[in-house]
Amino acid sequence: MAETSKPMVAHQLDYACDACGQGVMRSTGVVLASYPAHYPHRCSECGSASTFHKQYPCIEWRDAPQN
């Protein structure tokens, strides 16, 4: 199979705090060894805790817009 390439654009994903709406969720650095893995987070403003399936902030790659 031959290699192919296409332009991609990086997007930073963040998660706004559901509790206060002011801060953003940041990973605590802990990984829960479940399947799939879970990542505890705390709000940068109010300290509210939530667990997600990915670590925030994260990078998502998307196809570059076509001109």
End-to-end Cα distance, the chain:
28
Query: What are the pLDDT digits (tens) for 26-43?
Result: 999 999 999 999 999 999
Please tell me the distance from the alpha carbon of residue 29 to that of residue 17, in angstroms, as a whole number: 18
- Assigned token pair, 27: 């990973």
- Please tell me the predicted confidence (pLDDT) of residue 66: 83
- Please tell me the predicted confidence (pLDDT) of residue 67: 73
pTM over 0.85: no
Query: What are the pLDDT digits (tens) for 48-58?
Result: 999 999 999 99
